[in-house]
Amino acid sequence: MSKALIELVKKNFPDAVLESHSQLGDDTLVLAPGSWKEVCLFLKDNPQSDMNMLTDLTAVDYPDRDPRFEVVAHLYSLNRGHRLRLKAKVGDRDGETVEIDTLTELWASANWLERECFDMLGVKFLGHPDLRRILTYPEFEGHPLRKDYPAEKIQPLVQYRDEPNIDKVAPFGVDEGMSFGRQTHKRGIEDDDSRMN
């Protein structure tokens, strides 16, 4: 890790950097949530930083703090071999509105990492193209890695669908939990039928 990176970001974004430290050699910047994406874009494109890999993205819940959540990203530069940890404090005390910009346009890895973060901690990534749950299922209630989610909580059973003449139909909705569904498929058949006639 290199301290020069911290100076570089501080010089270019004096208002965005709220804190910085290098505890145990891990260089860390705490950013204002509003400039999250802007700073990331700068770090990715600037030849001095050249962060071409988003190694990890997660969030930490501090129930006693306000803002309550810390979104933590670890960036890495393959060419220069340096790392940087970025943090942004977001969310109110009750955890209703926890929002930050998505990084999916910068790194493809952000897609699943942000989905996981949303699933586990309920951080909403604004502008994410496909913010679905990933490790749990669509009917899951709550966000399990929040500190106020009791570990022994039991999830409600997902009901079978009501279909005439069929006993048990899996509880999927029309789209069966995927980013594209049967609806387009069905419409396709109808279109073909009308064309044939």
Partner 1 sequence: MEPLDQELDASELELPTEPMLLNVGPAHPAMHGTVRIVMELSGEIIERCDVQVGYLHRGFEKMCERGTWTQVFPYVDRCNYVSPMLNNVGFALACEKLLGITVPERCQWYRMILGELARMSDHLTCDGAMAMELGAFTPFLWMIKGREMVWEIMEEETGARLTHSFGRVGGMAAPPTEGFKEHTRAVVKHIMSIIDEVERLLLGNRIFLDRLENVGVISAEDAISLGWTGPCLRASGVPYDVRKAHPYLKYGEVDFDVPVGSASDSFDRFMVRLAEMRQSARIIEQCLERMADKGPVNVDDPRVILPAKEEVYNSIEGTIQHFKIIMEGLKLPAGEVYSYTEGGNGELGFYLVSDGSGTPHRVRIRPPCFLITAGLERVITGQMMADVVPSFGSLNMIGGECDR
Binding site for partner 1 (CB under 8 A): 23-24, 26, 28, 52-56, 58, 60-61, 72, 74, 78, 81, 83, 85, 107-109, 111-113, 116, 120, 133-137, 144-145, 149, 151, 176-180, 182, 185, 188-189, 192-193, 195-196
Dihedral sign for Cα 12, 101, 122, 148, please. Answer: positive
Q: State the minimum distance, in angstroms, from the CB of residue 133 to partner 1.
A: 8
Within 8 A by CB and 6+ apart from 182, the residues are: 174, 175, 176
Q: Which is nearer to partner 1, 23 or 97 (CB)?
A: 23
Using the minimum distance from each CB to partner 1, give the nearer residue, 11 or 78: 78
Least distance between partner 1 and beta carbon 54 (Å) = 6
In the complex with partner 1, which residue's Cβ is closer, 15 or 184?
184
Alpha carbon distance 103, 106 (integer Å) = 5
DSSP of 50-80: ---EEEEEEEEE-TTSSS-EEEEEEEE-TTT
Residue labelled with tokens 């979104």: 71
